[in-house]
Amino acid sequence: MAILERHRIDPVELAEQVEERYKRYLETTFYFKDPDLRKSFQGALSSGHLSKGPYLEATPVFKCPEGQVNSFKNYFLIHQMKGS
């Protein structure tokens, strides 16, 4: 359980980071030479949100059966030893 606690994701913060990066991408991709047009574009980008998320879905945690985990480990060990 300690491993899961260290890797918690804040979906709201993640959505904000994605939106901010997308805005920077748009600003650099669509750089307008005309100062008025550029100012208008930047104003439109900062006037609201580009997304309505984050969307969350409650799904149960996937638990791989112990036998299957060992099968995967054995498969990869065999192929690693063969060099393929």
Model confidence over 11-24: pLDDT tens digits? 888 888 989 999 99
Q: Is 3 helix (H, G, I), strand (E, B) or coil?
A: helix
Give the pLDDT confidence score for residue 25 in this predicted structure. 94
Q: How do the domains of the chain map onto residue ranges?
A: 2-82
Give the pLDDT confidence score for residue 34 in this predicted structure. 94
DSSP string, 33-83: SSHHHHHHHHHHHHSS-S---------PPP---HHHHHHHHHHHHHHHHHT
The continuous run of DSSP H or E covering 2 comes out as helix 2-6
**Is the pLDDT confidence value at 10 over 70?**
yes
